[in-house]
Amino acid sequence: MKGIILAGGVGSRLFPTTRCVSKHLLPIYDKPMIYYPLSVLMHAGIKEIIFITTKRDLNNYKELFGNGSCLGISIEYIIQDNPNGLPEAFILSEELISDSDCCMILGDNILHGNGLGRKLQSIISNNIGATITGYHVSDPKRFGVIELDETNAIKSIEEKPNNPKSNIAITGLYFFDKDVSYLSKGLKKSSRGELEIVDLIDAYLRSNKLSVEVLGRGYSWLDTGTCDSMLEASHFVQTIQHRQGLILGCIEEIAYQSNWISDVQLNEAATRMSGTEYSSYLKSLLTQ
């Protein structure tokens, strides 16, 4: 399975902060926002990852991750000239996706929970067509909303409805089969002038090839697209890390525990950030 991270757009909701830098490079507590969605894909066991970004921000991501070899993974970069909707990512990535299934995550999403890796790998193993992830929220009007029938099968999907039929929101984590690029090219732009992810999901629903995995109380999902949500997410990460002594979204730790990088490579990563708590944490992994 290939992974796609959407790290494009202009981040206009965060102006003036994002006038000259990608919002996905802004800090969520002690690390760039982009670390968190990347860590989700790595938890899922995905090693071939595509970054969709802008020409302005491309070199910054290359400076941060390079080709991914420092993490034992492979990273390719694709420039998106204009934000034309989420499904455009599958059109731009068509050659790289090829005949593979793929998992896409939005660059401002954070997922955390016990056994997250096992949950994601189970979704990948059982996916036929497309699988979306849902999460119970208190304000469903802000999200795409999933309505389930009595058997927990998907009955309908609505984008930001005035009268939501449930409190289950669609998160920014999606799993699709190899037909996703073909189906994305067949979509028509909405009144907003964009290709809509809800229309792509609906295409799978009409073909009876859509499943949902609702993330229960043991999981946390945060969307960090606004100033308030970024601050809330930073406090969340700070609290968890201080209580547990474990770092959330630590991509080097995931790579090391997955045997994708060696002791030497982990030590090199720690040395590059020498003098920080993050560096000390990485070095502590070598002595455990």
Q: What is the pLDDT along the chain (288 residues), one digit of tens a residue?
A: 999 999 988 888 889 988 889 999 999 999 999 999 999 999 999 999 999 999 999 999 999 999 999 999 999 999 998 888 999 999 999 999 999 999 999 999 999 999 999 999 999 999 999 999 999 999 999 898 999 988 888 998 988 889 999 999 999 999 999 999 999 999 999 888 899 999 999 999 999 999 999 998 899 999 998 999 999 999 999 999 999 999 999 999 999 999 999 999 999 999 999 999 999 999 999 988
Over the range 135-148, which residues count as b (16 or more CB within 10 Å of their CB) and which as e? bebeebeebbbbeb
pLDDT at 31: 96
As a whole number of angstroms, the distance between CA 218 and CA 106 comes to 21
What was the pLDDT predicted at 44? 97
Taking the model in full, what pTM does it have? 0.95
* Residue 272 pLDDT: 94
How far apart CA 224 and CA 108 sit, in angstroms, is 5
Backbone angles phi, psi at 119, to 5 degrees: -60, -50
- Residue 12: the pLDDT is 84
pLDDT of residue 179: 96
At 143, is the secondary structure helix, strand, or coil?
A: coil
